[in-house]
A and B are shown apart, each in its own frame.
Chain A
Amino acid sequence: ETGVTQTPRHLVMGMTNKKSLKCEQHLGHNAMYWYKQSAKKPLELMFVYNFKEQTENNSVPSRFSPECPNSSHLFLHLHTLQPEDSALYLCASSQDGTSGGYNEQFFGPGTRLTVL
């Protein structure tokens, strides 16, 4: 148990569907991250939130919409996705990510997304 949970663990959706991924951290952290893990490619950082404010958007298409209502919860809203968006989506959390120093990131188990 990492202290970072993600739901659902598996999701199959059509290209016209709207769905959301949820991440929750129980570690008292105040930075949260979304990563995309595709086969044979490096993990790609998508979004970073520090103290509920988005501090990084790594040129992610607008069909992915993040939401961070508080420091413990992070959502990724999905709309009109493409088959190439099928991947494992990982959430992570850490202590403050804006102080200039590095704070260890703790990862959730991921949501395996398949877009038909």
Chain B
Amino acid sequence: AQSVSQHNHHVILSEAASLELGCNYSYGGTVNLFWYVQYPGQHLQLLLKYFSGDPLVKGIKGFEAEFIKSKFSFNLRKPSVQWSDTAEYFCAVNAVGGYNKLIFGAGTRLAVHP
């Protein structure tokens, strides 16, 4: 069965610090990969996605993620966080050919202090 693991449940950073959130998945086939963000009181929004091609993908608000196939990882990064990045971040996997089924990780709650 497919699963997604996010290594940190809570991360606390100061503004301008660099961010890296870990995500690993278990699935032997080809996957599509996603990071979603949920700001306080708001709906889940797509931050970025990887389908194929360049394993380094750039998303909105200065976020990027790198797909490392050999490590089954899709870590999210941002060089310099802002207070407005305070949110919960979810990694998700879709097995290619698995129609529209998304498997989510448990989420990482990020708090950025001014």
Q: Number of B residues contacting the other chain (C-beta, 8 Å)?
A: 25
Instruction: State in angstroms the CA–CA spacing of A100 and B100 once bound together.
Output: 8
Chain A contact residues: over half helix, strand or loop, or mixed?
Answer: loop
Q: A23-53, CB under 8 A of B: which get 1 and which 0?
A: 0000000010100000011110100100000
Asked if B90 and A43 sit within 8 Å, CB to CB, the answer is yes
Instruction: State in angstroms the CA–CA spacing of A97 and B99 once bound together.
Output: 6
Nearest residue, chain B, Cβ from A109: B43
Number of A-B contacts (CB under 8 A): 55
Q: Number of A residues contacting the other chain (C-beta, 8 Å)?
A: 27
Contact of A48 among B92, B94, B101, B107 (CB under 8 A): B101
What is the interface of chain A, defined by CB distance below 8 A to chain B? 2, 4, 31, 33, 40-43, 45, 48, 55-56, 90, 92, 94, 97-100, 102-105, 107-110
